[in-house]
Structure 1
Amino acid sequence: MAEKKGLLLGRYEVGRLLGHGNFAKVYHAKNPTTKEEFAIKVLDKEKIFKSGLVGHVKREIAILRRVRHPNIVKLFEVMATKSKIYFVMEFARGGELFNKVAKGRLQEDVARKYFQQLISAVAFCHARGVFHRDIKPENLLLDENGDLKVSDFGLSTVADQIRHDGRSHTFCGTPAYLAPEVLAQKGYDAAKADIWSCGIVLFLLMAGYLPFQDRSLIILYRKIFKGDFRCPKWFSSGLISLLRRMLVTVPERRITIPEIMGKKWFKKDFRQIKFYPEDDEFHSSDDIDSPKAIDDESHSSSSSEPSIPSTIKTSASSPSLLGSQKYGLGMRRPPSLNAFDIISFSPGFDLSGLFEEKEEETRFMTAASVSQIVSKLEEVASLVSFTVRTKDCRVSLEGTKEGEKGPLRVAAEIFEITPSLVVVELKKNAGDKMEYEDFCRKVLKPGLQDLIYNPSASEENISSDSK
């Protein structure tokens, strides 16, 4: 008897249901050719529009593209039809960390390893202006090696969306893990609220139960506001000391992430991971039925939930001769930009090609080929004795000067907008912010000026050619 195959979604074979919520279902999937496994999150477009959650979905995509870390679930691709949106994500074979805790408390060394990986991921997010706001064991997954993966950034926020008072004002999260200042609904520091939630998770891993719990929400909230909890007798003194600094009801007195990482209890057997986020791949598919995806207002109005389509028609053409000439033989074509990627850039992104600078981020448009861009970046790097690493359409420039935060490292990534235009995005991946700004002003901008696309010059060339 022939093996029953799952439904096809582009190049993915969709299988069993892994879980579901109010607006999404998650399925196991694999690539039949490469045998790679994935998790596909399927969102109902109609429900999203009716619930006014379009902004939340856009933000989640933008955030997942920003936070590429070994302990954060990767988003590989975003696709859409007229009725559905699909997130193709990393498959965490080990399931939820919650399932481990449900069987009983963990040994200290095991709990410490998970906590170290959680703090490492949260520190990475905070450094990039991303705040999770729903940290709990159900949102912490485990891969086949038993390593932790933070997931579900649906309630997350970013620094540029926080009000002028520097505080978040959205009441969100899971009751038992909420910080007292979130419950107060008077504005809160999202980073401090994440630290409180991490403290609750750590207590749960070690105790097997929550520090604050009650069947009545009102009584539970009173306990959280009071912040009075007891540690079991098997907790070590170092662990108790750390928890009492994390679960402080006054956020200004709460321990910071650098202080957590400096604690003796935390540092035991801790291995700092050195990695290059630009090595990861992200694709947003624009060769599907609805290239505008979320912004497509022609979503299905049917009240019944459409099933996963057996196929999705694609219109991607094979690489042309123009492509091989533009990108160079043996060089991969840059990933295309569609609505999702442009959304993940700053609002009001100016497509006139002007050199745009933001905090720790720079981008510009150019008509140059990938090989020309890479050569120019190598030339700029040589002026300041930076080392260069190149992989496909990504370039990493790394300095040798050891600053307070280590050597400066700048990642450049090239995206295609049209066959003749690309966007070059540069980000500070490591090092001092002031050093990066100085490097951009004195070296990067002058060195790349010749590459920047000038629409008026192009129009002049067209006019002169037509004469």
Structure 2
Amino acid sequence: MTPCISAASLKLNDSTRHCRPPSQTRRSEETSSAIRGDLLRICRHLFQVYLVTHRDTLTRVAVKMVKKESMVGNPISTLNEREVLEMVQDNPFCAQAYATFQAEKHLSFVLEYMGQGDLAGQIEETWLTLPTIRRMSAELLCGVQLLHSRGIIHRDLKPANILIHLNGHVKIADFGAAATGMFGQPGGRRWNVPILCAGGK
């Protein structure tokens, strides 16, 4: 990830036309001392994702802000996500990261803004045609194949973690639960598959 993007170079995006779900899209009252934007997603008390714009390029990006207090005693999820995002930078079927930075209370990831929300919301709102399902399935299989070829297991692949770009293509996201160093490939953290830990039951 390139370090050229800083909190100071990001500004609030004025449009939420493509933000989903609408019920969760609202102007943030307080995110951190550096970032204020339109709320795209919230995950309990762990993190929030905001839509902002890079001041110099006018590129819209998603900033995922992880509360540092949520990492106390268990920083593995955030470390996993950063490691995997670096490993999949050239994978067109995985969401891309541009930079990371930190403020007093948050660690932040500057991520590719997809624009059409996640597959879970798409399934709830509309019928997917058979050709669309086939294309999405093929793209996801390519993404998973590349992850496995690099010794990465996602471990939390579900519709909510599959993002849809404005052009209709899908990408795998949210690598906090991922395991690396699998299948004999080099990596930082190895994990046992849960079903094997349970004796195959």
Matched-pair contact (CA < 8 Å) for 1:162–1:168: no
Work out whether 1:110 is the aligned partner of 2:132.
Answer: yes
CA displacement at 1:47 relative to structure 2: 2.1
CA displacement at 1:104 relative to structure 2: 4.7
Letter in structure 1 aligned against 2:150: R
Counterpart of 2:101 in 1: which secondary structure? strand
Structure 2 distance, partners of 1:186, 1:20, is 35
Structure 2 distance, partners of 1:138, 1:59, is 19
Work out whether 1:39 is the aligned partner of 2:40.
Answer: no
Work out whether 1:127 is the aligned partner of 2:138.
Answer: no
State the match for 2:7 in structure 1. 9
Q: How does 1:180-195 map to 2 (within 5 A)?
A: 181=195, 185-186=198-199
Letter in structure 1 aligned against 2:160: E
Matched-pair contact (CA < 8 Å) for 2:49–2:64: yes
Structure 1 distance, partners of 2:137, 2:198, is 28
Letter in structure 2 aligned against 1:10: A
Q: How does 1:321-360 map to 2 (within 5 A)?
A: none
Counterpart of 2:40 in 1: which secondary structure? strand
Structure 1 distance, partners of 2:112, 2:126, is 27
Which of 168, 186, 191 is equivalent to 2:193?
168
CA displacement at 1:82 relative to structure 2: 2.8
Which of 175, 182, 187 is equivalent to 1:153?
175
Matched-pair contact (CA < 8 Å) for 2:99–2:111: yes
Structure 2 distance, partners of 1:133, 1:58, is 15
Letter in structure 1 aligned against 2:198: Q
Name the one with the larger helix percent. 1
Q: State, as a whole percentage, how many aligned pairs show the same letter.
A: 25
Q: TM-score, normalised by structure 1?
A: 0.33
Structure 1 distance, partners of 2:40, 2:129, is 28
Which of 16, 27, 49 is equivalent to 1:26?
49
Q: Which has the larger radius of gyration?
A: 1
Q: How does 1:278-293 map to 2 (within 5 A)?
A: none
Q: TM-score, normalised by structure 2?
A: 0.75
Structure 2 distance, partners of 1:41, 1:154, is 12
Structure 1 distance, partners of 2:159, 2:171, is 11
Matched-pair contact (CA < 8 Å) for 2:7–2:101: no
Letter in structure 1 aligned against 2:79: K
- Detail structure 1 runs of 4+ shifted over 4 Å in the superposition: none
Which of 48, 59, 62 is equivalent to 2:83?
62
Q: Structure 1 residues 104, 13: closer, same or farther in 2, change over 3 A? A: closer
Which of 137, 140, 148 is equivalent to 2:159?
137
Structure 2 distance, partners of 1:103, 1:56, is 30
Structure 2 distance, partners of 1:79, 1:72, is 21
Structure 1 distance, partners of 2:75, 2:71, is 6
Matched-pair contact (CA < 8 Å) for 2:98–2:110: yes
Q: How does 1:377-388 map to 2 (within 5 A)?
A: none
Higher relative contact order (CA 8 A, sep 6+): 2
Counterpart of 1:73 in 2: which secondary structure? coil
Structure 2 distance, partners of 1:147, 1:54, is 31
State the match for 1:79 in structure 2. 101
Unpaired runs of 5+ residues, structure 1, are 1-7, 170-180, 188-224, 226-467
| Root mean square deviation, CA, Å | 2.0
Counterpart of 1:109 in 2: which secondary structure? helix
Structure 2 distance, partners of 1:168, 1:54, is 20
Structure 1 distance, partners of 2:48, 2:198, is 31
Counterpart of 1:135 in 2: which secondary structure? coil
